Amino acid sequence: MKQQKRAGFSSSFGVLAATLGSAVGLGNIWKFPYLTGANGGAGFLLIYLLATLLVGLPVMIAEITLGRRAKVNPISTMEQLAPKGRPWWLVGVIGLVAAFLIVAFYSEVVGWVFAYIVKAIDGSILSSDRHVTEAAFASLISNPLQALLWQWGVLLFIGGILMLGVTKGIEAIAKKLMPLLFLLLLLLCAVSLSLEKAGEGLAFLFRPDFSKLSAAVVLTAMGLAFFKLSVGMGTMMTYGSYFRDDQDIPLTTLRVMAADLGVSMLAGIAIFPAVFTFGFAPSAGPSLVFITIPAVFSQIPMGQALMVVFFILAAVAATGAMLSLMEVPVVIFHERLGWSRRKATLVTMLSLAALGSVCALSNSTLAGFTLFNLNMFDLFDFVSSNIFLPVGGIAIALFAGWAWGKDNFRQAISNQGRLRNGTLANVLLFLLRYISPVLILLVMLKGLQVF
């Protein structure tokens, strides 16, 4: 292949913004609140925190470190760093498949978010009557044409940014969107905390009740930890390949994790007090954001404007995450097949539009089409978070901890000895070797009811 200078993130803030942009997404604004709501609040939150620290964080550091070492797409990264003839490149292939499965359903939800910005502006979802907001949501998702067009519009929008490249597309957008995200979120929290029953909502979020915990719930919490930090499918490996050589990887990762957690907590603080104040159930599930939230907001002074803000916020968060998800196939096609970045992006967009349609239509034309009792939307979500990401996570932990070699890991993570983080490297190696893979495997098998 041609030896060109490979693009990358140009500044330290750019690295942070882009990586945080990947982590922050519908995972914080949509998944985290509804999973926490449906699984009993603070007890779930605690397990999620443990999974993040013991599993998500070490795997994320490992992924970024591997990616930066090889400076190439995930398949080639694994191929280059692995001992000759060992099939570790399959990890990259699994990641590519996972990327397609995730974007297929994720882009549909992003489509709903964009549609809801319009609906919030024109007022059609503005009603305190849950039946009205329910009907509005149902009419959006059960209309094949609308569902498809919003999804395809999203794919086109993200593809357009990706065509601008890593520095001028991904990094430049992330630097603008991340500060905006925090601003909007703080505004919504201030409003929510001023409501009458704010205390009840906060108690739900922060006072643990362990009666709802089960193996399946623990698996869900771990799946969320992976999904949240964008680990297990080569996204972080890809972004790692754009990291600067002088970037402190553990420190950056820690900051991203903390900020991501902060966004989830703030989203919870923005949502639950409002939900309790107006007497709605926190356990509504995936529709919490699309049915409950509009009904809640329509009862707050300036609610319509705030609802517009809320869905813009969700769209902002989703944009950074979508960019990172689609970048994986783009860079793989670009570097492995020698296609131009433009062609790679175009093919990614088109194939995702095809596969995504299966999810977009799962509430209308294809509603009767189910496997294991799940429609395609739910199946893709379940299989990617609870099987593909954990399997990818185990493989990455084992590779970084055992196959790659301790010294290579220590060297790479300390920027060739320039950072004094030997003790931290040892702790990480211990986690990657003995703790993360075992925990992931146990939780996965138990959650899937293998034993």
* Residues found near ligand TRP in the complex (CB under 6 A): 22-23, 25-28, 102, 227-228, 230, 233, 235, 321, 324-325, 389
Q: How far is the CB of 275 from ligand TRP (least distance, A)?
A: 21
Q: How far is CA 302 from CA 191, 201, 310, in A?
A: 10, 21, 12
Cα–Cα–Cα angle for 113, 289, 321, nearest 5°? 50
When the beta carbons of 256 and 300 are compared against ligand TRP, the nearer one is 256
- The torsion angles phi and psi of 41, rounded to 5 degrees, stand at 80, -125
Q: How far is the CB of 55 from ligand TRP (least distance, A)?
A: 14
When the beta carbons of 263 and 358 are compared against ligand TRP, the nearer one is 263
Q: How far is CA 246 from CA 213, 243, 290, 385, 397, in A?
A: 43, 8, 43, 32, 23
Distance CA 355, CA 263 (A): 30
Distance CA 161, CA 323 (A): 8
Q: How far is the CB of 324 from ligand TRP (least distance, A)?
A: 5
Q: How far is the CB of 232 from ligand TRP (least distance, A)?
A: 6
When the beta carbons of 191 and 236 are compared against ligand TRP, the nearer one is 236
Tokens of 410: 């220590």
Distance CA 8, CA 52 (A): 27
Q: How far is the CB of 46 from ligand TRP (least distance, A)?
A: 19
Helix (H, G, I), strand (E, B) or coil at 374: strand
When the beta carbons of 99 and 172 are compared against ligand TRP, the nearer one is 99
When the beta carbons of 94 and 293 are compared against ligand TRP, the nearer one is 94
Distance CA 439, CA 358 (A): 33
When the beta carbons of 30 and 278 are compared against ligand TRP, the nearer one is 30
Residues 6+ apart with CB under 8 A from 5: none
When the beta carbons of 396 and 398 are compared against ligand TRP, the nearer one is 396
Asked whether the CA dihedral 241, 11, 226, 432 is positive or negative, the reply is positive
- The torsion angles phi and psi of 20, rounded to 5 degrees, stand at -65, -35
When the beta carbons of 133 and 235 are compared against ligand TRP, the nearer one is 235
Give the nearest residue (CB) to ligand TRP. Answer: 27
* Backbone Cα Rg of the chain: 21
Contact indicator for 141, 363 with CB cutoff of 8 Å: yes
When the beta carbons of 204 and 227 are compared against ligand TRP, the nearer one is 227
Tokens of 31: 């998944």
Contact indicator for 48, 220 with CB cutoff of 8 Å: no
- Look at residues 205, 188, 202 and name the one whose alpha carbon lies nearest to residue 296: 188
